[in-house]
């Protein structure tokens, strides 16, 4: 199982997120990453290996942000590389997603998204989630997450950070029992 940490509050997010990841480190993860909203930008760092490798990437950088998500990965799809570490982004670089679980129908969803022009940069099942949410985003992050995840078959927990919704983290633990009726279609 992967580990997900999210924070929205008044304190600096990065130390809280890193501390949360360290509390999960005993589980034997292969990579770690973080996404934060800092001065109107979505900033992310990710690294294969232990959390110390991620911390090194952040050394000497003083972030004042109070919102972010972080992840430690235990690989299910894709090798343990920097690219395959979470978070994963949408095409526009406006959404970051971390995920725990498995998306059983990721191949078919990826094919449809590729036909719609989405470009993928990893070998993970998680990256399709960022693109699905991008596909459905129309100003309401929670609704976009809900609609996107109604397309997904599997077991999962996710957290989503969006430049357009800087004071919230979208999340979902499992597919809704009654899908909304929206279905991703080719074309």
Pick the CATH number of 3-172 from 3.90.1150.10, 3.30.70.100, 3.40.50.460, 3.60.20.10: 3.60.20.10
Q: For the segment 51-94, what is each residue's pLDDT rounded down to a tens digit?
A: 899 999 999 999 999 999 998 877 666 677 777 788 999 999 99
Domain ranges of the chain: 3-172
Structure tokens belonging to residue 148 = 């996107």
| Total-model pTM | 0.86
118/34 Cα distance (integer angstroms): 23
Give the model confidence (pLDDT) of 82-138 as tens digits: 777 889 999 999 999 998 888 999 999 999 999 999 999 988 888 999 999 999 999
């Amino acid at each position: 199982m992967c580990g997900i940490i999210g924070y929205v509050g008044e304190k600096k997010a990065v130390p809280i997120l890193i501390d949360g990841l360290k509390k999960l480190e005993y589980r034997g993860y292969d990579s770690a990453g973080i996404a934060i909203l800092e001065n109107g930008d979505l900033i992310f760092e990710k690294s294969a290996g232990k959390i110390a490798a991620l911390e090194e990437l952040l050394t000497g950088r003083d972030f004042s942000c109070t919102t972010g998500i972080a992840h430690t990965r235990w690989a299910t799809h894709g090798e343990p590389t920097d690219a395959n570490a979470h978070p994963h982004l949408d095409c526009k670089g406006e959404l970051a997603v971390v995920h725990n679980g498995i998306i059983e129908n990721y191949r078919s969803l990826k094919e449809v998204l590729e036909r719609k022009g989405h470009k993928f940069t990893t070998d993970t099942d998680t990256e399709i989630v960022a693109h699905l949410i991008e596909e459905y985003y129309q100003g309401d992050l929670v609704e976009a997450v809900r609609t996107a995840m109604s397309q997904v078959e599997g077991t999962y927990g996710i957290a989503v950070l969006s430049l357009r919704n800087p004071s919230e983290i979208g999340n979902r633990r499992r597919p809704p029992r009654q899908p909304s009726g929206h279905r991703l279609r080719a074309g």
